[in-house]
Structure 1
Amino acid sequence: MPHDTPSYMRVADDLRRRITSSGEWVAGDRLPSRAQLAAEYEVGPNVVQKAVERLIIEGLLEGRAGSGTYVRQPRERMRMVRSRHRERRGGSPFRADMRERGRRGSWESHSQARTPAPEHIAHRLAIEPGDLCVRTRYEFLADGQPVQLSDSWEPMSITGETPIVLPEMGPYAGMGVVERMRTIGVIVDTTVEIPRPSRATQEQANLLGVSLGDLVMEIERTYYDIEGRPIETADITVPDVRWEIAYEIGIQQPEA
């Protein structure tokens, strides 16, 4: 884990390991008090509080008023957490997400270089319609089972003539947009996601193993560099029957 990872994320990672891997606590078990965990990890109670809140967001723990924090019974639907911390773990955020849930993340992809940008993609990337892009279609898998689809576009004006022009080929294949762009000096600063409920098309249903017309969540995601320039945009499709999406939003604390 990167050295700049917040303390509460490191505590959350270890608590998650103790629940999902070592079996120290199982569904229905009550965790030690915040004070006990703070002493064990040699951190402040606020750090433990944030770590526990993170695992509650993920659906791994639940708080019971006046009683404490318990390991939650497994859900039929898993929770996919969209967070600014997804990009701080290095490598592929998807693979890291699945690893935290005890699953093996993988994907299949197909890239097409020199693809003219349609009008709606050009608008999102602040380029002209017809400007050349690399379009990559992904099928993301957890333990070999479909999890989500993604249709990604990157302007060749940024990546052309570089080792990362094809996202899943070359020395930096599989690293994720943020890490790949960093290798050519493009620093991603912000991501904007717009979720919209939709119904599965026949193609989506076939790829995701759901039925035509089933509810899916469509996420329009765009990455921006430190100058506010869009550097990649994608349409992500998640089957609602298997996954629910949660957004972790940090609250800026006033300066003392």
Structure 2
Amino acid sequence: MREQPPYLRIADVLRQRIADHEWTPGDRLPSRAQIAQECGVGENVIRRAQELLISQGVLEGRSGSGTYVAEPRERLRMVRSQYREQTGGSPFRADMSALGKRGTWESRTDAKVPAPAGIATRLGITEGDLCVRTAYEFLADGRPVQASTSWEPYELTAGTLVVLPEGGPHAGKGVVDRMAEIGITVGHAVEQPEPGQANAEEATLLGVQRGALVTRIQRTYYSSDGRPVETADIVVPTAFCEIVYEVPVNP
């Protein structure tokens, strides 16, 4: 049997010291140099062990301050269902309300952005065609739980009151309701989830360590005649959320 890598062994040691209440939530850990000396390993081993525990939500890294024992955080159960699109308003806000949480988000929209090749393929347009791109950070009770980047063909909404997803009288309503305002019926959505690791930008947005486990969801909405009207890349940190798909069964 192969010997366990040193950083995994040290991660177990640190986890046990927390379980034994040597360090409690909110406590700052000793320096890496001090822990390395106590455990008889190099600082790089301690760094990798701490990064693993941060990605698992056991520890919390604070820039310029050190590493702390994370406060207990409930792992949210996020249900992906056709019914989430039938409540009106924002599906995310409705999801969080069902969990007893306050769902909010911050966003940044850029209009007339040329579509990259991959996005163009998903939207059924030509590479370089103009799109409306919106980057989101979604929050539950003020804490980040999801990030996404949404793309819509500019020609689809140009000159209408819904051209900016987070601007105008229909801001924040969600794709289905916004498209309905301009006479487009969204018939279905396709979602493709896969595991991944957070890059530097995602880690900063979501408050996790770079390389932390995430679930990536590639989602595309289609009109009733089969035309893609919006596509998005959604990133959910595994340590904070579990994703469940609800599949309707016709009797």
The SS at the match of 1:114 is: strand
1:140 to 108, 132, 138: 138
Stretches of structure 2 lacking an aligned partner (at least 5 in a row): 1-72
- Cα-to-partner distance string for 1:159-183 (whole Å, 9 max, x where unaligned): 1111110100000001011001100
Decide whether aligned partners of structure 1 residues 202 and 139 sit closer, same or farther in structure 2, where only a CA change above 3 A counts.
same
Q: How does 1:40-189 map to 2 (within 5 A)?
A: 76-189=74-187
In the alignment, which residue of structure 2 is the partner of 1:248? 246
The SS at the match of 1:186 is: coil
Q: How does 1:25-36 map to 2 (within 5 A)?
A: none
The SS at the match of 1:195 is: strand
Q: CA deviation at 1:77?
A: 1.8
The SS at the match of 1:90 is: coil
Code of the residue aligned with 2:232 in structure 1: it is: A
Q: CA deviation at 1:202?
A: 1.0
Q: CA deviation at 1:252?
A: 2.2
The SS at the match of 2:94 is: helix
Identity %: 60
Code of the residue aligned with 2:149 in structure 1: it is: D
How far apart, in 2, do the equivalents of 1:226 and 1:217 lie?
28
Equivalent pairs counted in the alignment come to: 180
- Cα-to-partner distance string for 1:98-148 (whole Å, 9 max, x where unaligned): 011111100000000000000000000000000000000000001110010
How far apart, in 2, do the equivalents of 1:228 and 1:247 lie?
22
The SS at the match of 2:83 is: helix
* 4+ runs deviating over 6 angstroms: none
Q: CA deviation at 1:222?
A: 0.2
Q: Is 1:209 aligned with 2:216?
A: no
The SS at the match of 1:107 is: strand
In the alignment, which residue of structure 1 is the partner of 2:225? 227
Code of the residue aligned with 2:197 in structure 1: it is: R
Q: CA deviation at 1:76?
A: 4.0
Stretches of structure 1 lacking an aligned partner (at least 5 in a row): 1-74
How far apart, in 1, do the equivalents of 2:248 and 2:189 lie?
14
How far apart, in 1, do the equivalents of 2:155 and 2:167 lie?
18
